[in-house]
Amino acid sequence: MRQPLIAGNWKMNLGLKEAVSLISELKKVKPNKAEMLICPPFVDLPAASEMVQGTHIQLGAQNMYPEEKGAFTGEISPAMLKELHCRYVICGHSERRHIMGESDEFIHRKVVSALVHGLTPILCTGETAEQRNEGRTEEIIREELETALFNLPSEQAETIVIAYEPIWAIGTGAAATAVDAQAVAHFIRGELTRLYGETTAEKIRILYGGSVKAANIEDFMAQKDIDGGLIGGASLKAAEFKEIYEKV
Ligand code: PEP
């Protein structure tokens, strides 16, 4: 049985004061069987870490550099995230792939490094509108998965989380239909089965991300291969994120 995961990716939003205020509201939410995760900007993490200690809220980072320490100006290491009690780290979000130019190989290094340091990677995959129109969705996702997971043993693979995030649905208000999202999530589980066998593939959580809100979360959660959501815009509003979590 895979535990549902509702993950908020705050992106470059909410400074310290706003972060504290949102977390205070989320702490009032009654815990249920789903995991609630927030991924604030780095500068909010120390305060967030203190605030969520002993609560139902898990902490994650939006990114990391895949080295222990050293001359990497402006970067944050997995060990630093661990020190702040982060459990998760988002790897390969499409904004990092497309705006910062991160390659599949670099994302692979992050996934491996995160696991070595005891962090759970949330590996993002997804196609652009153009790739979808060309019928290349599966090809793109297969390539992203194969490279990011290259040589990963199944004991490690079974702990990771995969997020299917069609790029055309992120921040646009035009979510994928639940049926389309399920079709790709099913394809992803099939690829994981091919790489690791059914037992491992059945343990891996697959999230859908792309304009998820309280009004559509139930449609996604009703799908066999979708185990939660990676939520951007709607995770910035306490009432909306609470409603999403409660509907899971
Ligand atoms: C995201 O950034 O991962 C995302 C899915 O954003 P939004 O929910 O705003 O589409």
- pLDDT tens digits, 212-240: 999 999 999 999 999 999 999 999 999 99
Q: Is 181 in the pocket of ligand 1 (CB under 6 A)?
A: no
Spell out where 118-187 has E strands.
Answer: 120-125, 161-164
Q: Which of 35, 144, 165, 191 is catalytic?
A: 165
What pLDDT, on a 0 to 100 scale, did the predictor assign at position 143? 98
Q: How far is CA 7 from the centre of its chain?
A: 6
Residue among 124, 130, 216 nearest 161 (CA): 124
Measured in angstroms, how far is the CA atom of residue 169 from the centroid of ligand 1? 8
Measured in angstroms, how far is the CA atom of residue 70 from the centroid of ligand 1? 32
Q: Are 212 and 234 in contact (CB under 8 A)?
A: yes
180 CB burial (10 A radius; 0-12, 13-18, 19+): middle
Q: Are 141 and 187 in contact (CB under 8 A)?
A: yes
Q: Whose CA is nearest to atom 2 of ligand 1?
A: 232
What pLDDT, on a 0 to 100 scale, did the predictor assign at position 76? 98
Q: Whose CA is nearest to atom 4 of ligand 1?
A: 232
Q: What is the mean pLDDT of residues 162-177?
A: 98
Per-residue pLDDT of 8-37, as tens digits, reads 999 999 999 999 999 999 999 999 999 999
Q: Is 210 in the pocket of ligand 1 (CB under 6 A)?
A: yes
Contacts of 206 (CB under 8 A, 6+ apart): 161, 162, 163, 164, 185, 188, 189, 225, 226, 227
Per-residue pLDDT of 58-106, as tens digits, reads 999 999 999 999 999 999 999 999 999 999 999 999 999 999 999 999 9
3-state helix, strand, coil in the chain (%, to 5): 45, 15, 40
CA atoms within a 13 Å half-sphere pointing along the CA-CB vector of 241:
29
Mean pLDDT (the chain, rounded): 98
Contacts of 184 (CB under 8 A, 6+ apart): 137, 138, 141, 164, 166, 176
Backbone phi, then psi, for 23, in 5-degree steps? Answer: -65, -40
Measured in angstroms, how far is the CA atom of residue 170 from the centroid of ligand 1? 5
Q: Which of 35, 93, 127, 144 is catalytic?
A: 93
Cα three-residue angle 208-213-216, rounded to 5 degrees: 75
> Is 93 annotated in the active site?
yes
> Is 165 annotated in the active site?
yes
pTM exceeds cut of 0.85: yes
Using DSSP's 3-state secondary structure scheme, residue 23 falls into helix
Q: What is the mean pLDDT of residues 176-205?
A: 98
Position 1 pLDDT exceeds 90: no
Per-residue pLDDT of 106-115, as tens digits, reads 999 999 999 9
- Nearest atom of ligand 1 to the alpha carbon of 163: 3
Measured in angstroms, how far is the CA atom of residue 71 from the centroid of ligand 1? 32
